[in-house]
Structure 1
């Protein structure tokens, strides 16, 4: 009885710490994009094509880097509507899996806050802060894939993209 009560308290605290509404919204966005067949608005592996495509479509400039050398080639980008605003989504692939990376300005309340990796409905979700942005990644691949993507992205951004 005590163990069940303790487990319930821990589960409730973990759910409260994670912005579950935002996580659910991001996973839903990822799934909708995949089943719609319209998961990329600008199809290109060239960061110099994808980054300028966002100009005038959103009110910030997301960092765009190609991570092909790390096993995560850039497939393109799209706009989506998350947290009551338009946001940049960078699409990467990894071993036949699609990874959507949602990029928000760090000071944007819709961005949520960094924390541990999460899972929702069988999808892996990771979040971190870097380069003045809040990054959220969603995929049906393993959480290890997101850990590797985050490390590759951080390294590339720290080396000047």
Structure 2
């Protein structure tokens, strides 16, 4: 199964509407493709968010009485077309409010103005997704010599792993993730109670200086250097995240992995 085919079947698979053969094919594809698996997990989070009981409210008794007690025939007066508009707007507003309650959903649907913005949107989505349940780390360790070897055989590149505890950013683990259709290494650091995700994957071409973006309460810093793309994201304050990025880039850091 190709990714395009999987994309068409994702929602049906999520709703358990596929036959046995297609369901098995989807399960096999998701186990092999980290990008499609990330999309599936995002949709699953959105579905769960939209099914939360807190989204629903009991109708007032007076309104419920109108549903159960038909009015007399002589009192039935059709609403003019212009009077129905507020009802339609209210329904649309209710749906929009429900969507906005699901963070991964609006991250996938928000307008994309360029490649950089797409990376930012996917990084935020990946960061939010990592905080759900047990998605944060595949390998849990504060030792860079444990985290770095864990990626061997799982990626076609060797990620740079640094322990920045001395800078106030202890390494706590790592996992596999996906950005722009690439399998990427995600290193997880902490700043007090804040989680910092650092994504990295191979790059072609020269270095690109840092670019900082703030969206939806998150700061995203991305740059290219030493043959790698880097994207770091957190809800920590911007100054701290810039300090983290500088510490990671510092070639003089004696804790830099080899």
- Give your verdict on TM over 0.5: yes
Q: Say which one has the larger Rg.
A: 2
TM-score class, shorter: 0.7 to 0.9
What residue number does 1:75 align with? 172
What residue number does 2:234 align with? 139
Q: TM-score, normalised by structure 1?
A: 0.81
Q: Is the 8 A contact 1:102 1:136 kept in 2?
A: yes
Distance in 2 (alpha carbons) for counterparts of 1:81 and 1:60? 14
Distance in 2 (alpha carbons) for counterparts of 1:84 and 1:66? 28
Report 1 or 2 for greater relative contact order, CA contacts < 8 Å, sequence distance ≥ 6: 1
Deviation at 1:74, TM superposition (A): 0.1
Looking at secondary structure, tell me which structure has more strand per residue. Answer: 1
Distance in 2 (alpha carbons) for counterparts of 1:158 and 1:83? 31
Question: Which sections of structure 1, spanning at least 5 residues, go unmatched?
Answer: 1-14
Distance in 1 (alpha carbons) for counterparts of 2:176 and 2:135? 11
What residue number does 1:89 align with? 186
Matches within 5 A, 1:42-53: 42-53=139-150
What residue number does 2:116 align with? 19
Q: TM-score, normalised by structure 2?
A: 0.52
Deviation at 1:46, TM superposition (A): 0.4
Deviation at 1:132, TM superposition (A): 2.4
Distance in 1 (alpha carbons) for counterparts of 2:142 and 2:180? 27
- Across the aligned residues of Structure 1 and Structure 2, the Cα RMSD in angstroms comes to 1.9
Q: Is the 8 A contact 1:76 1:91 kept in 2?
A: yes
Task: Say which of 237, 241, 244 aligns to 1:149.
Answer: 244
Deviation at 1:16, TM superposition (A): 4.8
Task: Say which of 181, 203, 211 aligns to 1:116.
Answer: 211
What residue number does 2:203 align with? 106
Q: 1:141 to 1:159 in 2, by over 3 A?
A: closer
Deviation at 1:80, TM superposition (A): 0.5
- Length, aligned pairs only: 142
Q: Is the 8 A contact 1:114 1:134 kept in 2?
A: no
Question: Which sections of structure 2, spanning at least 5 residues, go unmatched?
Answer: 1-111
Looking at secondary structure, tell me which structure has more helix per residue. Answer: 2
Residue 235 of structure 2 is aligned to residue 129 of structure 1: no
